[in-house]
Amino acid sequence: MFVSSDAFYQQLAQDIKQWALALGFADIGICDTDLSHHEAKFMQWIENGYHGEMDYMARHGLMRARAHELLPGTLRVISVRLDYLPPEALIVSTLQDTHNGYISRYATGRDYHKMMRNRLKKLQQKIETQVSDLVARPFVDSAPIMERQLAEKAGVGWVGKNSLILNEKAGSFFFLGELLVNIPLPVSEPVIEQCEKCVACITICPTQAIVEPYVVDGSRCISYLTIEKFGAIPEEFRDAIGNRIYGCDDCQLICPWNKMAQASNESDFVPRKDIHSPELLSLYTWTEDEFLKKMEGSPIRRIGHERWLRNISIALGNANYDPKIIKALEEKKRHASEMVIEHIDWAIAKQLNNQPVVNRKTKRLLNAVERGMPDHC
């Protein structure tokens, strides 16, 4: 092994940052593993039931705040950022057209987990050329770890009032990954929180899921409802879901810092044609086999065909009146599961009510996006 001097680790940290950038990561920071001051807040969040049906959030208890227990011997966490917003995001046009389905922009391309993990593994291998007895492990949403709090401590950004990491040069449209290592690298300086008095994300949330600054009731969040939740979506949230069929970006889109959002040049994140700005009625015709085939390599595949139909049924109910929608809903009802039928019945009743859809929050959001977001959105 090389001599473990301060000068050696200072140089190694600089090399790691250069290697990470060469591998395509947009930013990197280094921190220790101490998140003890977050433990009580996390346990209170669990006690409040804000994790909904995400039992895995509670399963590992405080290990989430203790990376050194996840990988014994861990001294440092290398936190990386990878921008994902596609060059032609079509955000405004998709949200404006109630007959199209909106998919959270992180999910319109290929699944990011494997790609990021492979790059972190390559970064690990680079470090191993300098540290022969390195013990390391990469993570990308694959372990009980507080990635946002670690990213904040590593200086990648600060935790905003919507609970996401914000970066003054890149907004929040990026993925995070971590490489746990057993070497005493010098740590990065955290950045100063810059949300100040802004509460735009809190007021724009369609379901009032941000119950106080920095605290999200996950069980109310549209991303949770359309992705994580099994079974029926409570009726109280269906109107607010609008045409969002997988996830929600509203608290990011309204954020003033996302005027700095960077367009990704990653080919994996180029939107798939079928789901970029898709017609709801077209998506609704997919059989389960078609869904599984078309969604190969996509994060959307994990929700399965039944929840896919559930989400689209709600969006069709919220669309501006069209007899074709009622016909499609009635046809789907003949072969749908009981859970999906519940949402179809709701959607048919909503369509028959024949009231124009006017969502003031969405109109305000679209105005803000057109004024404040980069042109590629």
DSSP string for residues in 34-101: --GGGHHHHHHHHHTTTTTT-THHHHTGGGGG-HHHHSTT--EEEEEEEE---SS--HHHHHH-TTB-
Nearest to 289 by CA among 308, 266, 269: 308
- In this structure, the number of other CB atoms found within 10 A of the CB of residue 307 comes to 22
CB proximity list for 257: less than 8 A, separation 6 or greater: 160, 166, 167, 168, 171, 172, 194
Burial (Cβ within 10 Å: 0-12, 13-18, ≥19) of residue 98: buried
**Distances in whole angstroms, Cα of residue 288 to Cα of each of 94, 174, 198:** 24, 31, 44
Report the alpha-carbon distance of residue 166 to residue 259 in Å, rounded.
12
Catalytic residue among 15, 97, 141, 239: 141
Is 111 an active-site residue? no
CB proximity list for 98: less than 8 A, separation 6 or greater: 242, 243, 315, 318, 319, 320, 357
Q: Distance between the two ends of the chain, CA-based, in angstroms?
A: 49
Nearest to 251 by CA among 189, 198, 317: 198
CB proximity list for 101: less than 8 A, separation 6 or greater: 94, 243, 244, 245, 246, 275, 278, 279, 280, 283, 312, 315
Dig out the tokens for 250 from the structure: 């509203």
Catalytically active residues, by annotation: 141
